[in-house]
């Protein structure tokens, strides 16, 4: 059968040996101790080794010739061999030697626990172990020595009882109150951690001071250039840049125009003209598209016709409508008629007017007109169309709703390190495109749509340079500083021949020059009361408040990283 040889190191404690035994994969485990193996010179440890072997179903063999270890091995009946080649056996010692074996005392148990640092583990091992009773060694004595043997057994039991009541009492108490000991240990660790956190990590302080300040208005004329190399911010000439965005806006709108797309009425108009008898040949014409009007209704000529007289007097009576009337002929000349087809200029049934001999207005080149037949064929069909007023209203709506929105979006795209020249904001509206177009029909139940592209632009300058210019122009004493600049704006922004110009207006808050580092250096490591007093002694500090991180913190930490400084402006009342 294979065996596992475990060499015990001088620094190994009983827990290490037990772990090696339990981790061994062999049924026979040979323990080879070093010279002066103190860990094996304790009956408690020998018993633990023997018990571990029994529980793990392993046979433990000690490889040693040390008399002290042999005596302890004999006490626990633990096999021993002088080397790895010899057969193991249980050491034989006499009754007297057995009586004098190194049984554990209270001091030895405590010392073993302290040395190993594994009190709880050892206590469990001892609890699980049954105390091996030493044999009476009756085989080694005669019946004649029975009294003597009983006497020695009594002495041995008394000694073992002493060990039980003295050496194992402390370990027993630990095992009996195991839960309490664990809870107490955990509580102690938690307490230590809490104390470390409370007095080493948690302490911090917030120091708030009020600086006596004054508020001053600022107003200065400045100029702007679009050429970077021409900038001189110290003298009030700033490089100005422009930001542009394009937005396409669409809006639906109701078309309100109405259009009649019915059929147009048609008919004919008779026209006439006079030609003087002595005037000779003459003619006149009505051209296509010329308008004839009767009341509110207008008709356009569909064709061009010509009315003429050949000027032959002898043929007057046959060529003139009034040729048989000598008086009329003499007075008016030759009267010639013509007929022209016409169509109403607008569709609608209202143009179906009756024939009329009077009231017609004809083109100036003829003397008159009339209709001998009714106009007919006109019908009504109304549709909705887009008209210019609809587009104008929709465009106004786009401008009013989008300007502020687009302005905000444009400003948001500019870095916070820049100062926006708001008066330079411009919005340019492109051509509006209507769908359908003006005059076109909008389908029933639908809306027309207007789309337009707007271009928004604004100028901006470097904010830091602007504020440095204000601080420079403030001309404060060396021990004073500007704490804040507020409500800056440009007034009277105009374009000039060389760029742009305007007036920079703002107000700045100034006071004694006190930095966060100055405050930290005064308060760090001091009690809260002392720190307050020392701060109030500094010229310019009007209010002091120190708030510790927790109620038990009574002083300001010495670590600057744990000190928060908040400097507030306290405006001086006039």
CB 176 within 8 A of CB 119: no
Cα–Cα distance for residue pair 114/180, rounded to 1 Å: 20
Displacement of CA 158 from its chain's centroid (Å): 81
Residue 307 and residue 366 in contact, taking contact as beta carbons nearer than 8 Å? yes
Positions of E strands within 226-281: 237-239, 241-253, 257-260, 266-275
Q: Which residues pair with 360 in a beta bridge?
A: 294
- 11 backbone dihedrals φ, ψ, rounded to 5°: -90, -5
Q: Can you tell me the distance from the alpha carbon of 296 to that of 117, in angstroms, rounded to the nearest whole number?
A: 123
Mean pLDDT split into 10-residue runs, the chain, 574 residues: 80 84 85 79 84 85 84 84 82 54 44 44 42 40 46 50 50 75 81 68 83 90 94 94 87 89 95 81 90 95 90 69 73 85 95 93 91 94 90 80 76 92 88 87 88 90 94 89 91 92 93 86 86 83 85 83 85 56
pTM of the entire structure?
A: 0.45
Question: How distant is the alpha carbon of residue 427 from its chain centre?
Answer: 31
So what's the pLDDT on residue 573?
52
Written as one string, the DSSP assignment of 135-200 is P--GGGS-GGGHHHHHHHHHHHHHHHHHHHHHTTHHHHHHHHTHHHHHHHHHHHHHHHHHHHIIII
Q: Which pLDDT score, from 0 to 100, does residue 342 have? A: 96
For residues 303 and 111, give the distance between their C-alpha atoms in angstroms, rounded to a whole number.
139
Scan for tokens 């109403």, then name that residue: 344
**Res 200: pLDDT:** 61
Q: Got the DSSP string for 28-65?
A: EEEEE--TT-GGGS-HHHHHHHHHHHHHTT-EEEEE--
Whole-number Cα distances in Å, 550 to 194, 198, 203, 205, 525: 13, 9, 7, 9, 16
Confirm if 73 and 91 have CB atoms less than 8 A apart: yes
Question: What CA–CA distances, in Å, run from 426 to 201, 241, 416?
Answer: 57, 14, 20
Secondary structure (3-state) at 454: strand
> E-strand spans in 49-136?
59-63, 80-81
Q: Could you give the angle at which helices 119-128 and 178-196 cross, rounded to 10 degrees?
A: 170
């Amino acid at each position: 059968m294979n065996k596992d040889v475990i060499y015990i190191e001088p620094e190994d404690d009983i827990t290490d040996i037990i772990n090696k035994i339990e981790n061994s994969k062999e049924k026979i485990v040979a323990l080879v101790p070093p010279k002066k193996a103190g860990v094996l010179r304790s009956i408690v440890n020998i018993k633990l080794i023997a018990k571990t072997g029994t529980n793990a179903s392993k046979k433990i063999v000690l490889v040693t010739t040390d008399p002290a270890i042999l005596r302890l091995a004999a006490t626990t009946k633990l096999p021993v061999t002088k080397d790895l080649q010899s057969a193991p056996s249980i050491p034989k010692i006499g009754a007297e030697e057995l009586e004098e074996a190194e049984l554990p005392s209270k001091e030895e148990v405590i010392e073993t626990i302290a040395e190993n640092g594994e009190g709880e583990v050892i206590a469990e091992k001892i609890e699980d172990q049954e105390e091996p009773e030493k044999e009476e060694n009756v085989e080694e004595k005669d019946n004649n020595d029975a009294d003597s043997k009983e006497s020695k057994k009594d002495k041995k039991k008394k000694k073992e009882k002493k060990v039980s009541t003295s050496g194992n009492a402390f370990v027993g108490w630990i095992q009996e109150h195991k839960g309490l000991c664990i809870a107490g240990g955990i509580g102690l660790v938690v307490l230590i951690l809490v104390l470390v956190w409370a007095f080493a990590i948690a302490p911090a302080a917030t120091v708030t001071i009020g600086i006596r300040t004054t508020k001053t208005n600022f107003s200065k004329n400045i100029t702007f250039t679009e050429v970077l190399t021409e900038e001189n911010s110290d003298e009030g000439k700033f490089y100005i840049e422009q930001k542009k965005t394009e937005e396409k806006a669409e809006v639906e709108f109701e078309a309100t125009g109405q259009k009649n797309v019915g059929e147009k009425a048609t008919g004919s108009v008779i026209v006439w003209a006079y030609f003087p008898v002595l005037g000779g040949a003459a003619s006149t014409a009505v051209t296509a598209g010329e308008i004839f009007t009767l009341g509110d209704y207008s008709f356009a000529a569909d064709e061009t016709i010509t009315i003429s007289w050949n000027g032959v007097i002898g043929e007057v009576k046959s060529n003139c409508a009034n040729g048989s009337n000598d008086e009329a002929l003499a007075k008016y000349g030759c009267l010639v008629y013509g007929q022209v087809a016409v169509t109403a200029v607008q569709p609608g049934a209202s143009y179906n007017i009756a024939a009329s001999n009077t009231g017609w207005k004809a083109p100036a080149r003829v003397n008159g007109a009339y209709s001998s037949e009714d106009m007919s064929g006109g019908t009504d069909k109304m549709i909705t169309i887009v008209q210019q007023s609809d587009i104008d209203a929709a465009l106004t709506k786009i401008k009013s709703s989008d300007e502020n929105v687009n302005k905000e979006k444009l400003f948001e795209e500019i870095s916070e390190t820049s100062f926006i020249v708001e008066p330079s904001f411009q919005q340019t509206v492109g051509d509006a495109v209507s769908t359908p177009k003006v005059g076109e029909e909008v389908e029933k139940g639908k809306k027309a749509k207007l789309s337009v592209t707007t271009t928004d632009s604004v100028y901006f300058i470097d904010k830091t340079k602007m504020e440095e210019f204000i601080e420079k122009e403030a001309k404060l004493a060396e021990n004073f500083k500007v704490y804040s600049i507020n409500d800056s704006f440009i007034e009277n922004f105009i374009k000039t021949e060389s760029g742009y110009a305007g007036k920079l207006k703002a107000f700045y808050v100034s006071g004694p020059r006190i930095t966060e580092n100055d405050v930290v250096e005064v308060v760090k490591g001091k009690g809260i009361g002392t720190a307050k007093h020392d701060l109030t002694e500094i010229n310019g500090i009007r209010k002091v408040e120190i708030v510790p991180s927790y109620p038990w913190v009574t002083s300001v930490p010495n670590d600057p990283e744990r000190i928060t400084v908040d400097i507030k402006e306290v405006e001086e009342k006039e």
